[in-house]
Amino acid sequence: MDPQRAAFVEGFALQLAQAGMQRMASRVFAALLVAPSDGLTAREIADALGVSAASVSTATTYLTRTGLIERTRVPGERVDRYATDGTRWVEATLVETQNLATMNEWLARGVDAAADDPGAVERLRETQDFFAYLIDELPRLVERWRHERSAVSGR
Residue with smaller CB distance to a second copy, 77 or 85: 85
The 116-155 contact track toward a second copy, x by CB under 8 A, reads -x-xx--xx-xx-xx--xx--x---x---x--xx------
Among 1, 5, 22, 47, binds DNA (CB under 7 A): 22
With CB under 7 A as the contact rule, the residue among 5, 23, 123, 125 that binds DNA is 23
What is the closest distance, in whole angstroms, from the C-beta atom of residue 114 to DNA in the complex? 23
What is the per-residue binding string for DNA in 34-63, x denoting contact by CB under 7 A?
A: -------xxx------xxxxxxxxxxxx--
Q: How far is the CB of 139 from DNA (least distance, A)?
A: 28
3-class DSSP string for the chain = CCHHHHHHHHHHHHHHHHCCCCHHHHHHHHHHHCCCCCCEEHHHHHHHHCCCHHHHHHHHHHHHHCCCCEEECCCCCCCCEEECCHHHHHHHHHHCHHHHHHHHHHHHHHHHHCCCCHHHHHHHHHHHHHHHHHHHHHHHHHHHHHHHHHHHHCC
- Is residue 89 at the binding interface for a second copy, with CB under 8 A as the rule? yes
Residues that bind DNA (CB under 7 A): 22-24, 41-43, 50-61, 73, 76-80
